[in-house]
Amino acid sequence: MRVLMAGARFSGLDGVSLEAEKVAEGLAALGHEVIWLAGELEPWHEGIELPEMGLFTEEARALKAAAFGEEGADPALEAAVEAAGARLHARIEAALEGVSFDLLLVQNAWAIPMQLPLAVALFRLWRGRGVPAIAHNHDYFWERPRFSKNRIPNVLERYFPPKGPVHLSINHAAIRELKRRRGMESLYLPNVMPFERPLPPPDAFARGFRRAFGLEGKKILLQPTRLVPRKQVEKSVELAARLKARGHEVALVVSHPGADEGDAYPKRIKALARERGVPFYWIGERVGPRRDEKRGVYALMDVYPNADLVTFPSRYEGFGNALLESVYAKKPLWVWPYPVYEEDIRPLGFRFFEPGAPIEQVEEALARPEALAPDLEQNYRLAREHFGYRRLISVLEEALREARAGTPF
């Protein structure tokens, strides 16, 4: 079967892009072909890059700005969104001329209204082609305060998400809310990692990471997230400052970019790190989903083996890529108890540091990492059981059966 994987962006280190790659790998393992379609693609994707589908087109930005922040339906604005979607649909169809596919798999474009015309366009594509559809929904709009007031209720009701596709939700709270708000069922597909294939030991390029950034002799606190407010990077700065005050040579390394939400927050974090005397390294331009040795770009999983402690103090996560990545790399994790963690992850028995843990326990992890080996192995076993590729394959098989049967939830 040929699956069209469609979304605004499949590029970089954001959660949607990373999980879409894993879904594509799962589909390939099941014998299906994936064709990529998005506003941004990585060079290795086989498909079509159409900039008009991207998150930051002038039209998408303008419509989003007009649609959110105030309440009260605006029929003219809703009509403008529909018209923009119709134009984008025509552009997509032109780009897909001669391309056939058997199933449409939409990554988050029917869940979070960052690109309003794209949701309309993909809906029209789905209906026009008459193929089954699966919606992999990472962030529903009602989960984000900035979308709480809007002027386009009918657009949101029709497209975010639409009735008809088989829906995949990434946590149990999202499953409940989708049912409560829209009467729709969805399958549970948490974030996953290939725990069945252990991470190989770092090679020479990965081992050169510390030298490349002048981090020799320092304990690396790795914050593997974007620099945006909900990641609460200030808490990692404060943890690093406490450890530094207790005599530890530490450095806080942020591995992801943060341009999606402006530069005010990165500036604030840099200033806080200077004020607290914390060596701070923001290396997002030198880290990607895959390495490029010629350009000195490290794959994300090149970076993790160099960390002494992973910090993940997010206030909110749809699931939590960094948590699974740290377990995959067998690294200790300092995690904030965000809601999805409390419901879907902590009860399984994982052993992480939380904010209430005595600082002496964190110091022990830095000074004697071998003492944590049993806990790290236990975390790995649990993750392989609950969040490995076997789970991914199982859920994809069920979703494909439902979609092909024509009786979606």
For 150-172, the pLDDT digits (tens) are: 999 999 999 999 999 999 999 99
Q: How confident is the model over 202-211, as pLDDT tens digits?
A: 999 999 999 9
Q: How high is the pLDDT of residue 258?
A: 72
* Torsion angles phi and psi, residue 205, rounded to 5: -65, -45
Tell me what the mean pLDDT of segment 256-283 comes to.
Answer: 90
3-state secondary structure 43-72: CCCCEEECHHHCCCCHHHHHHHHHHECCCC
Q: Which domains does the chain have, with CATH numbers?
A: 2-192+389-405 (3.40.50.2000), 204-386 (3.40.50.2000)
Query: Where are the strands (E) in 263-385, listed by range?
Result: 280-282, 287-288, 298-299, 309-312, 333-335
Task: Give the separation between CA 278 and CA 357, rounded to whole angstroms.
Answer: 21
Mean confidence (pLDDT) of the chain: 96
What residue has token string 């080996």? 373
- Model confidence at 259, pLDDT cuts 50, 70, 90, reads low
Alpha helices in 96-152 (DSSP H): 116-129
Give the dihedral of Cα atoms 290, 294, 295, 301; nearest 10 deg: 30
Say what percent of the chain tops pLDDT 90: 96
Q: In which element (H, E) is residue 22 found?
A: helix 15-29
Spatial strand order in the sheet of 309-312: 280-282, 250-254, 219-223, 309-312, 333-335
Q: Above 50 in pLDDT, residue 408?
A: no
| Alpha carbon distance 246, 347 (integer Å) | 32
Q: Torsions phi, psi of 109, nearest 5?
A: -70, -20
Distant-in-sequence, close-in-space partners of 355: CB < 8 Å, separation ≥ 6: 235, 313, 334, 336, 337
The pLDDT tens digits of the residues spanning 383-406 come to: 999 999 999 999 999 999 999 997
Q: Are 331 and 310 in contact (CB under 8 A)?
A: yes
CA-to-CA distance for 352 and 339, rounded, in angstroms? Answer: 16
Percent helix / strand / coil, the chain, rounded to 5: 50, 15, 35
Structure-token pair, residue 64: 């989003």
Rounded to 10 degrees, what is the CA torsion of 252, 256, 262, 266? 10
* Tokens 């609460």, located at residue: 232
Six token digits for residue 175: 């499953």
Query: With 90 as the cut, is the pLDDT of residue 119 above it?
Result: yes
CA dist 55 and 373 (Å) reads 42
Predicted local confidence at residue 260, as pLDDT: 65
Structure-token match 């497209």, residue found: 159
The radius of gyration of the chain from alpha carbons, rounded to an integer in Å, stands at 22
Supply the pLDDT for residue 409: 36
* Cβ within 8 Å of residue 200, ≥6 positions away: none
**Looking at the chain, how many residues does it have?**
409
Token pair in block for residue 311: 């910090």
Separation CA 319–CA 66 (nearest Å): 29
Contact 64, 70 (CB under 8 A): no
Amino acid in the structure at residue 80: A
Question: Which percentage of the chain shows pLDDT scores above 70?
Answer: 99
Q: Who's near 61: CB < 8 A, 6+ residues apart? A: none
Average pLDDT of 232-254?
A: 97
The DSSP H or E segment spanning 106 is strand 103-107
